[in-house]
Amino acid sequence: MASNKKYWKSVEELNENSAIVDTLKHNEFPEEIPMDMFLGDKKTLEASSTTRRDFLKYVGFTTAAVTLASCEGPVVKSIPYIIKPNDIIPGVAEYYATTIADGFDFANVLVKVREGRPIKIEPNKEANGATNARVQASVLSLYDSLRLKGPKANGAEISWNEADQQIIAKLNEVKAAGLPIAVLTGTSASPSTKKLIAKLNETFENVAHVEYDAVSESAALDAFELMYSTRALPDYNLEKAEVIVSIGADFLGNWQGGGFESRYSKGRIPTNGKMSRHIQFESNMSLSGANADKRIMVKPSEQNQTLIKLYQAVVNGVVPTEATPLNVAIQNAAAQLKTAGSKGVVLTGIQDKNAQILALAINKALNSEVLEVSTTKNIRKGNDADVAQLITDMNEGKIGAVIIYNSNPVYTLPNASAFVEGLKKVKLSVAFSMQDNETANAVQYTLATPHYLESWGDVEIKKGQYSLIQPTIKTLFNTRQFQDSLLAWTGSTATYYDFLKETWNVEILGGKSWNQALHDGVFTSDAAQSGAISLEVDVETAATELEAVKGSDLELELYVKIGLGDGQMANNPWLQEFPDPITRTSWDNYLTMSKADAVALGAVNNYVANGALNGSLVELTVNGVSEILPVFIQPGQAKGSLGLALGYGRKQGMKAEMQTGKNAYKFYKDFNNFQPNVTLKLAAGEHEFACVQLQNTLMGRGDIIKETTLETYNDTSIDPKHTWNKSPKVSLDHKEVEASSVDLWESFDRTVGHHFNLSIDLNTCTGCGACVIACHAENNVPVVGKDEIRRSRDMHWLRIDRYYSHEENFAGDNEVKDNGKGAMGFKKAMDALEDPSENPSVSFQPVMCQHCNHAPCETVCPVAATSHGRQGQNQMAYNRCVGTRYCANNCPYKVRRFNWFEYPNNSKFDYNMNDDLGKMVLNPDVVVRSRGVMEKCSMCIQMTQATILKAKEEGRPVNTNEFETACSNACSAGAMVFGDINKQEDTVKSLAEDKRAYHLLEFIGTKPNVVYHVKVRNIQEA
Amino acid sequence: MSSHYEAPIRRPLIDGDKSYHDISVDVAAPVEGKAIKLWWIAFSIALTAFLWGIGCIVYTIGTGIGVWGLNKTVGWAWDITNFVWWVGIGHAGTLISAVLLLFRQKWRMGINRSAEAMTIFSVIQAGLFPVIHMGRVWNAHFVLPLPNQFGTLWTNFNSPLLWDVFAISTYLSVSLVFWWTGLLPDFAMLRDRAIRPFQKKIYGLLSFGWTGRAKDWQRFEEVSLVLAGLATPLVLSVHTIVSFDFATSVIPGWHTTIFPPYFVAGAVFSGFAMVNTLLIIMRKVSNLEAYITEQHIELMNIVIMITGSIVGCAYITELFIAWYSGVEYEQYAFLNRATGPYWWAYLFMMSCNVFSPQFMWFKRLRTSITFSFIISIVVNIGMWFERFVIIVTSLHRDYLPSSWTMFSPTFVDIGIFIGTIGFFFVLFLLYARTFPVIAQAEVKSILKASGEKYKKLRDGNHE
């Protein structure tokens, strides 16, 4: 309703005929405005400070200002918690214990979750969990943008209900036809999954469970079954070992599922004058061989003979007649094994049941304490014979349905085409897969499964040691677990979680708390352990059979890389960019070849103008299967042998950049990594490698990696400071003084507060590279791709340098250098030292920012973007950096990394930082660097500060050894120890003062906060 | 006429039968006349190169430093090589005009104008590189000590790169002022001769109202002397500070106390070579052979020979000290420099810088215009390689062999370098057409003493 209120302005208005009111009504301005006077008065007008021009300026300015103010500011999309979940505090990380069990890697891990996003995998140390590079990187596979996002039937999307109905109908058809249903899985080691498959058998009858490992350990399993009646893998407690003889077993790599390095490393620290002696007979240069005290190059076929001779020498005391170098080495190994007795162990990687029997027999004869036969491991279960039989049956039409889970046989089988043909002959083929891979595209139904970080599950890694898998994030896509599907198909309405919990409560926990087990991630059963039953095996026959295995002039040994493993994580850019610890080459597999063989063939490795490595191409033919492969000349490769890594060459469900290398599984005939009868032909063209280390030798620079022998180390009569751990000297006022005592700068009191040091023991570092990936994940290090790696622009904050010796060992290199007298002699020595030996000694050295107390980078930055922290850290202020790269030039350790391009949100770098999903892995505590700034290791300042804050909040001092960095956390070998040297109890304090401790390039006077420990080698023969 | 007396043994500095008016006409001729075809061709080429360089710079800034050939080990290569090379070239001008002024070397008068112009133009090129080599050029002002809202956020006065900022900017400004001061009477001459009003107006502005009163001349002389005094230490300081970029570092091959004198000698060396390159062409094209005589070229060749030999000594000293130090890293750095993968660059450097100037011991060669021109080009190639050798061969193989790698330039690296050469010549060619390229006022002051005609007259009288 409109208002008719009248507002009175004055009393005058009461009088209706008031003249005043009338006048005012018609005249807005009662007083005359002196317009003319003002405008007419030129003088006043000119005196006014606001001229016409000023007026226009003001108008202009205000218009512009108003226009600008009306512009929309940048919109940051963020969703506030209207109702905050109870357990999520923004900025505070949550940790969940879970387990990775992808069929290749099995480990108890902790998952760091920030605001509901899992961002990092850490070892669950309370559960003896150890992580390797792949486990560390597995979190990124969760955010793989090419994951299967829902169920499909013949390539078309379908709903879960429809899929279930159709599959159940078909399964019933198969059941009616009386045909078997094959469930083909990778090793799952899951008690409840096993139960579910049994349940499937109850429902549909005739269900056969075939377990299949892409990289087979069938021979070892069969041998152990023959000797100890259980089809499992024995465990080896290498901590107890005094003598380790390995014949082709890369136990620091992926042999029998790996995970031996932590106990191996414990035996490698010289304590009480003792450390283990490690002898390796092998053909490819493996991580284990690189760490060995003595490494003997032996072709794959000769490895068989070596093992037989070793057996004869140890068990029967037979001495080989001929005194060839190999025989002498075998004799020495045998003698040392005998001396060590129960502290000796023999491992072998020969994929032959007889070889595995021999190795077990030697250990049995030695009465080895290292071999643990009662606590067997379940992490490899694959049975080659079953798989071969399945393929035959499929092709003969004897199989009604194939259900594939946790396996990619179409890619990994050597006879994949036969398998694909077989798939066409079955009534129903179903693949449970996370990726749209080869197998997913070859079956009728592709059912999307969640990542292990989105799943429930359980694993019995070791007998009696149960682990739980729990989801750390809600499923990202329309996925369903294999186990849930089985439940649905068997008519159960329960979820897998219910099923799992019930199974555990009934069968495993024995009345203990489920919540506690879930919290811990592991549960060790008290149930009585049955001792292993030792059976009598005819070892002599095994030896005779093994001896009959024929070799050839050129033999191929297939191996598995530390980075890519069996290839299931090939779409993981962190792993693709991870430089192989031995070859330091990323984004590729290649044919490793000895120099002698390469020369004979005419194959070369050469460097192009920008330093990048190129290699000849050859055509490899084995059993009629051919492939063009690049040649990588590998020092330490046994003459007459070739190495080739499995796990590469995947094409489907992969980004174009990730489709690297060639599939070597097609050479993996009979699941044997040893393939004789190889022919090689030089092919046209060159291959471009992405190798991050182009100089392979140490050039006689023995002060970079200091080494000594156990004998010298044990000799208390010599002073390490003047012998094997020489401290550099400089001249001050014509007197020789220790370099570290001379200082250009005013000293600074570092005893107050925290002072961080990182200790790296070169004895225990195996070079596995778990720390490299951990650093990648923690610090949002960008992936730059193959081309940029070729331009020497890798971004790794932490790298593991690998050096080969030119002589037999590094001491020999130093001699060569010292003997190079005069200009020409020096030149000759240096030229010679550039080439590695045929069978070199190998050293690994992790190098990251050394956090020098007198940092050369800090003085040269014109804008003071890098400066020293109160706690010893050398810090980068990214916002301040203008990118002159002066700091990187002046860094003697070359650890600074420049952002040559904009790596995130750049389609040229289509890795995880280029899509929204991939970016979920980023650590919110660490800024993502923009183009044009320098970056480097921060000693995980975000972690140390978080530790300090946590202690402060809890009102306590920081606990002993509470400080950690991503690398020290990931190091299962215990080589990297981080801590506060102002805290007496911290381990790092004593390590920094150890007699083996030294600083890298100490003579420059940089005073680093990273301490290395002299590598001690146990070179004593017999 | 006693002040004009010059020993008869001295050769004339102005050839031919020149009068004061002739000088004015000769100097003004390129400005007042029409550009010849050759100029247009040269200018077009230079402009094209310049535009191409701008394109490469824009591409770099738009995409990232990654478009260059640098890597994690070699963080500087062509960028800083070009920077030092251009700064070095920029040394001759100030040396000629300031140091030779203080030493009363009259032969400088024929060449100082162009030498200084060259200095300024090359310092402009040099100044480009420290800016564009930054990963984040848009924050380049961070290197200036500007007051800011962060209070204590200041530049790092320990950094030689910051000293560079001051050294180069000081050098550029002092050189510019010095140059302009000298230009005033000459601009005034052009103004007075100009017929077209526009030209008159422009030169009037440029000459700052020079009237030619006695007071003007007196002040002119005083200012010149003061500026010469100021500029002389700069000749030494600029390249000393540039050399600190390397000398104060810890990298073997950079960490050398010999660098300051060695760099200054090298700079004078390359600067004189560039002056020769430019003037040998200009005297011909602009008909200035009477003022830039064979003797001028010869004298400059002698300076080239001496500085080249100093540089050679420095090279040898470096090798000796590396050996004498007993430090294996140092020894390897120099072994690698001479015989490593970049041996060809070292060979270029040695033969161009140490070997080629030795020809100047022969009078016939150092008075040969063609030969001088060839050597001047060779020396500048050599000096470019010297900087490349110092920067790249020291970096690419330093302490830890694991990081050793190689450097190879991309088309952008090359494009930017060519672009700066183009930019330099664009400026120089414009200068040659619009500026009095010879300090005619000064030259006139020695006409009676050192002019050929007057010398003959006088010498004749004595006979």
- In the block, tokens 């090689």 appear at A680
Residue contact B161–A886, C-beta within 8 A? yes
* Chain B residues with CB-CB distance to A697 below 8 A: 401
Residue A255 · residue A562 · CB < 8 Å: no
User: What pLDDT score does A3 carry?
Assistant: 65
Packed helices A191-204 and A482-489: angle between N→C axes, nearest 10 degrees: 30
Packed helices B369-388 and B343-350: angle between N→C axes, nearest 10 degrees: 140
User: What pLDDT score does A147 carry?
Assistant: 92
CA triple A989-A990-A993, angle to 5 deg: 95
**Identity of the residue in B65, B339, B398 whose CB atom sits nearest the CB atom of A827:** B339
> In terms of residues, how long is chain A?
1022
A198 shares contact with chain B (CB less than 8 Å): no
Say if residue A430 is in the same domain as residue A495. Answer: yes
Say if residue A358 is in the same domain as residue A386. Answer: no
Q: How far out from the chain centre does Cα A605 lie?
A: 27
> Is residue A1013 very low, low, confident or very high in pLDDT (cuts 50, 70, 90)?
very high
User: What pLDDT score does A2 carry?
Assistant: 59
A893 shares contact with chain B (CB less than 8 Å): yes
Beta bridge partners of B241: none
B343-350 average pLDDT score: 94
- Domain final position from A508, A540, A570: A508
> Is residue B1 very low, low, confident or very high in pLDDT (cuts 50, 70, 90)?
very low
pLDDT greater than 70 at residue B11 = yes
Residue contact A791–B71, C-beta within 8 A? yes
Task: Please give the helix or strand (H or E) that residue A968 lies within, else none.
Answer: helix A966-970
B33 shares contact with chain A (CB less than 8 Å): no
* Chain B residues with CB-CB distance to A902 below 8 A: 64
Say if residue A228 is in the same domain as residue A211. Answer: no
pLDDT tens-digit readout, A847-871:
999 999 999 999 999 999 999 998 9
Say if residue A275 is in the same domain as residue A351. Answer: yes
User: What pLDDT score does A450 carry?
Assistant: 95
CA triple A526-A528-A530, angle to 5 deg: 135
Residue B68 · residue B410 · CB < 8 Å: yes
CATH number for A969: 3.30.70.20
> Is residue B461 very low, low, confident or very high in pLDDT (cuts 50, 70, 90)?
low
Cα(A951)–Cα(A953) distance, integer angstroms = 5
Say if residue A780 is in the same domain as residue A661. Answer: no
B158 shares contact with chain A (CB less than 8 Å): yes
pLDDT greater than 90 at residue A696 = yes
Stretch among A554-558, A606-610, B8-12, B21-25 having the lowest mean pLDDT:
B8-12
Say if residue A300 is in the same domain as residue A320. Answer: yes
Domain count within chain A = 5
Cα(A1004)–Cα(B244) distance, integer angstroms = 18
A236 shares contact with chain B (CB less than 8 Å): no
* Assigned domain for A528 exists: no
CATH number for A397: 3.40.50.740
**Identity of the residue in B142, B249, B405 whose CB atom sits nearest the CB atom of A611:** B405
CA triple A650-A651-A656, angle to 5 deg: 115
A145-149 average pLDDT score: 92
pLDDT greater than 70 at residue A68 = yes
Instruction: State how far residue A860 is from chain B, nearest Cα, in angstroms.
Output: 4
Residues 6+ apart with CB under 8 A from A383: A210, A211, A212, A218, A221, A231
Q: Counting one residue from A and one from B, how many pairs have CB atoms under 8 Å apart?
A: 188
- Domain final position from A67, A100, A115: A67
Nearest by Cα to A547 from A808, A348, A305, A188 = A305
Residue A431: CA atoms inside 13 Å, Cβ hemisphere, count? 25
Say if residue A789 is in the same domain as residue A919. Answer: yes
A420-443 average pLDDT score: 92
Say if residue A864 is in the same domain as residue A745. Answer: yes
pLDDT greater than 70 at residue A530 = no
* Assigned domain for A103 exists: no
Say if residue A849 is in the same domain as residue A917. Answer: yes
* Assigned domain for A4 exists: no
* Assigned domain for A359 exists: yes
* Assigned domain for A92 exists: no
* Chain A residues with CB-CB distance to B72 below 8 A: 792-794, 888, 894, 896-898
* Assigned domain for A130 exists: no
Residue contact A882–B134, C-beta within 8 A? yes
**Identity of the residue in A701, A826, A883 whose CB atom sits nearest the CB atom of B401:** A701
B111-130 average pLDDT score: 93
pLDDT tens-digit readout, A595-649:
999 999 999 999 999 999 999 999 999 989 999 999 999 999 999 999 999 999 9
| Closest chain B CA to residue A584 | B402
CA dihedral (B160, B164, B170, B171) in degrees, to 10, reads: 120
Dihedral sign for Cα atoms in the order B33, B38, B39, B41: positive
pLDDT greater than 60 at residue A79 = yes
pLDDT greater than 70 at residue B198 = yes
Cα(B118)–Cα(B81) distance, integer angstroms = 19
Cα(A11)–Cα(A17) distance, integer angstroms = 13
Task: Please give the helix or strand (H or E) that residue A120 lies within, else none.
Answer: strand A117-123
User: What pLDDT score does B463 carry?
Assistant: 44
Q: Mark which residues 78-117 of B lie under 8 Å from A by CB.
A: none
* Full-model pTM: 0.90
Instruction: State how far residue B65 is from chain A, nearest Cα, in angstroms.
Output: 5
Say if residue A802 is in the same domain as residue A907. Answer: yes
Say if residue A731 is in the same domain as residue A643. Answer: no
Residue ranges covered by each domain of chain B: 14-135+171-455
Residue A467 · residue A459 · CB < 8 Å: yes
Of A175 and A85, more confident = A175
Say if residue A747 is in the same domain as residue A881. Answer: yes
Residue contact A695–B397, C-beta within 8 A? yes
ipTM of the complex: 0.93
User: What pLDDT score does A438 carry?
Assistant: 92
pLDDT greater than 70 at residue B368 = yes
- Domain final position from A354, A377, A400: A377
CA triple B291-B293-B295, angle to 5 deg: 135
CA triple B290-B295-B297, angle to 5 deg: 95
Q: Helix-strand-coil percent breakdown of chain A, rounded to 5?
A: 35, 20, 45
Residue contact A900–B64, C-beta within 8 A? yes
pLDDT tens-digit readout, A434-462:
999 999 999 999 999 999 999 999 999 99
Q: For the residues of A318-352, what is the DSSP string, one character each?
A: PPPSS--HHHHHHHHHHHHHHHHGGGEEEEE----
Provide φ and ψ at A931, rounded to 5°. Answer: -60, 145
A708-729 average pLDDT score: 90
* Chain A residues with CB-CB distance to B156 below 8 A: 859, 861-864
Q: Provide the 10 A C-beta neighbour count for residue A567.
A: 28
CA triple B254-B260-B265, angle to 5 deg: 115
Interface probe, candidates B59, B70, B72, B391, chain A, greatest A C-beta count within 10 A? B72
* Assigned domain for A121 exists: no
Interface probe, candidates A583, A610, A854, A881, chain B, greatest B C-beta count within 10 A? A610
pLDDT tens-digit readout, A246-278:
999 999 999 998 889 999 999 999 988 889 999
Residue contact A933–B136, C-beta within 8 A? yes
Residue A249 · residue A347 · CB < 8 Å: yes
* Assigned domain for A549 exists: no
* Residue-range definition of the domain harbouring residue A579: 554-691
> Is residue B2 very low, low, confident or very high in pLDDT (cuts 50, 70, 90)?
very low
pLDDT greater than 70 at residue A529 = no
pLDDT greater than 60 at residue B189 = yes
Q: Which two tokens stand for residue A518?
A: 């879930």
